[in-house]
Amino acid sequence: MSDEQARSMNPRAKVNVDTYREDRLYPRVAQAVEELLVKGNLVAPVDVLVRMGLLKPKRLEDWRRGRVPYLEKVIDCNLSCLSKLLQILRFYAHDMKLVPSATAYMRWGKGPKQRILFTKTGDPLLEEAYARHFVWPGKGPFHSPVASNEKSRDTGPDREVQDSLSKE
């Protein structure tokens, strides 16, 4: 087994911009992001978690209504996995040219509006990572610039030209 394969199998292994696509979480994150963009132009980490089956919609609503003290308490995976997932999401969103947007999460329901916590500690960097949404800046329907780039790398520009000419 190569070092890269061993790293991608280790749930505690760090990911970076060069290695995030090798991680075992990457395909699930990418699929969730693309499914969300097909339906709209916004990707929120909480929606990715729901799409991946790590957060039940009922538990998300309980947190938003203030019935759960912090979101991480009701997510079905460990904190190191969540941290890695947020990193992969950020790298993938960047590669897809999605625009980051800070969002304030306020408690739903009656009473004074209060900011709700994602983490037990309230760490500002983690809170910001969970609250960072990514917006598709395109005017038309979503199309993945990453998929286009990967196709170009796989087939090469000459192959694409040949394919398009043969279809005419």
**Model pLDDT for residues 58-111, shown as the tens digit of each residue:** 999 999 999 999 999 999 999 999 999 999 999 999 999 999 999 999 999 988
The pLDDT score that the predictor gives to residue 14 is: 85
Q: What's the mean per-residue pLDDT of the chain?
A: 83
Q: Give residue 112's pLDDT.
A: 86
Buried b (16+ CB within 10 A) or exposed e, 80-99: eebebbbbbbbbbbebbebe
The domain spans of the chain are: 3-140
Predicted local distance difference test score (pLDDT) of residue 60: 98
* 144 vs 36, more confident: 36
Kindly state the average pLDDT of the residues 122-133: 96
Nearest 5°: the CA angle 23, 27, 32 is 130
Q: Report DSSP letters for 114-139, one per residue.
A: -B-BSSSS--HHHHHHHHEEEE---S
Beta strand 99-102 with 42-43 is unpaired
Tell me the C-alpha distance between 63 and 58, whole Å.
Answer: 9
Per-residue model confidence (pLDDT) at position 1: 38
SS3 letters for 32-82?
HHHHHHHHCCEECHHHHHHHCCCCCHHHHHHHHCCCCCEHHHHCCCCHHHH
AA identity, residue 160? E
- 29 or 147, greater pLDDT: 29
Question: Which helix (H) or strand (E) element contains residue 99?
Answer: strand 99-102
